[in-house]
Every structure is written in C-alpha cells, then in structure tokens.
Structure 1
Amino acid sequence: MANHVNLVKLCVGVDSVEDLAAHIKHRGGRTTAHVTRMWPKQGDALLNGGSLYWVIKGVIQARQRIVSLEEYHGGDGVRRCAIMLDADLVRTTGAQRRPFQGWRYLKPEDAPNDLPKGRESETKLPADLAQTLADIGLL
C-alpha cells in the first residue's frame, strides 16, 4: 500500500496537454508553482511521492510530481500555499472527471496510469462512447 496521496485539479484555460506543456516551458526552470488559497491538510503524504493530476477538458490527462509546499503571500498579504511542481509533465491514461472547485485528494489506487514514454496520447474514443463508459464507471 502506498504511503502517499495525490491531488487532482482542473486545468482552467488550457485546451490540451500540449497547451499545458507550452505554459510550463514558458515559465522555465525545473519547478513550477500552482498557488492555491487552501493549505493541504495531508501535506506530508503529498510530499512522500504525490503528484498533481491535471483535468483538461473533463479528463485527467497528465500529472506533475509535487516537490514541495511553500508559503506564499500575494499583494493582498493573504497567506496561500504554493504547490511546487516538477516541470516534467507526465501524460496519463484518460480518466473522466466532472467539474469541481479547488482540488481534491486522489488515492494512488484511483490514479490513472502513466502512458509509456514516447506515447503522446491514447486512441481517442468517440465522445458519446467515452461518456457512456464514464457514466457506468468504466472510463
């Protein structure tokens, strides 16, 4: 049994994994930050091998390893959490997710598998078939 937990978050304003990869590359460096208002209560478990799984267009499609959690104060002086992420973007098998606010914890056993290196995506199913499979819990 894994001793870590993951996060899942909607990737708002991004249309594809390629868009997210370009955004990460534009920021440069080996880590990127995602700033959130709430501090994860399970921070130790996140730092023990957890990743942030990105939902793009209703489907988990990629993840980034969580490197650290750092305190961040914006211009308004409010304390926030900067989730520091490894810049390497790992593509995953698709997993449907309904819209939600904020982030959610994701148990390792519920996380989608990584795609093999060099494989850009899965074979795309027709939208109606993908939705039907997701509705019955098979996708």
Structure 2
Amino acid sequence: MALHMIKLCVGAGTIEALLDWRRTHQAGESWTLRTRQTPKRAAELVDGGSLYRVFKGVILCRQRILEVRTVGEGAAARCEMTLDEAVVRVVPTPRRAFQGWRYLQPKDAPADLSAEAFGEVPSALARQLRELGAW
C-alpha cells in the first residue's frame, strides 16, 4: 500500500521558483531530495507514494518517489530520495508549519488538480493564480 511524505519547501515560494531552482542547480541530474533521516517505511513510499510540498503554509504539488536510499555511515549518514521529474499540481490545502518531514496517509492527501476540474482558464488568469500559489 502506498504511503506519502509531506515536506516544507524552503527557499521557494512558488512551484515556478522550485522549477527555476531545479533548472539552475540540478540540470541534467536526476531530481534528488536530500534529508537527514531515512524513513523507516521507505518501501511503502516507493510503492506508489509521492512527496507533497508545502509552500508558505499551503500544499501545492507532489512528485512521485522513485527511490529512497541511505548514503554515508554513522553520524554522517543521510537520506537521498530520487523523485519523478513530473511535478503534479494538487488542490491547494492549508498545512501548518512543522520541522523535517512527515508521513501522509493516502486518505489525507489532496487530490490532483486537472484542467477538466476548472474548464478552460484564460492564460493570464492561470498565470496570476500560479504566481499567488493558488493553482
């Protein structure tokens, strides 16, 4: 059964800022998230789980988790997660601040946004909503 993870997106206030950072810092590499603690339930995360990102108190997107591994040993050990390149926008959902990451049960995960849910949105309006982090 899939299990998800939720993490604050520090340093990027919007999905577009995250994607710009990606193009600048990890272009040509697999998308890797580094964190201190390796999840004990890593097998469940890789079994269809996603990383949900919180921007300024709102969950806005997710990426599928492809691999979870521990690098280093002892006190220097860290976790590296390989993420799918596709960033899927989700229904904006408020979330209080927390440290590190948390597991997110599938029943508590926000639904994916789709163009069909809103019909045809004018591009200028869509851009403004994205800039505000609302879409």
**TM-score normalised by the chain length of structure 2:** 0.79
Unaligned runs of 5+ in 2: 131-135
Residue 71 (structure 1) shift: 2.2
Q: 2:98 aligns with which of 85, 97, 100?
A: 100
Residue number in structure 2 paired with 1:51:
50
Cα pair 1:69 1:83 within 8 Å, conserved: yes
Residue number in structure 1 paired with 2:133:
none
Aligned mates of 2:36, 2:70 — CA distance in 1:
10
Residue number in structure 2 paired with 1:70:
69
SS of equivalent residue, structure 2 residue 60? strand
Residue number in structure 2 paired with 1:36:
35
Q: By percentage of residues, which structure has more helix?
A: 2
Stretches of 4+ aligned residues off by more than 3 angstroms? 117-121
Residue 99 (structure 1) shift: 0.6
| CA deviation map 1:16-69 (0-9, x unaligned) | 111012122332247311111111011111010000000001000011110101
RMSD: 2.6
The size of the alignment, in residue pairs, is: 121
97-106 vs 65-74, which moves further: 65-74
Q: 1:84 aligns with which of 76, 82, 85?
A: 82
SS of equivalent residue, structure 2 residue 78? strand
Cα pair 2:38 2:69 within 8 Å, conserved: no
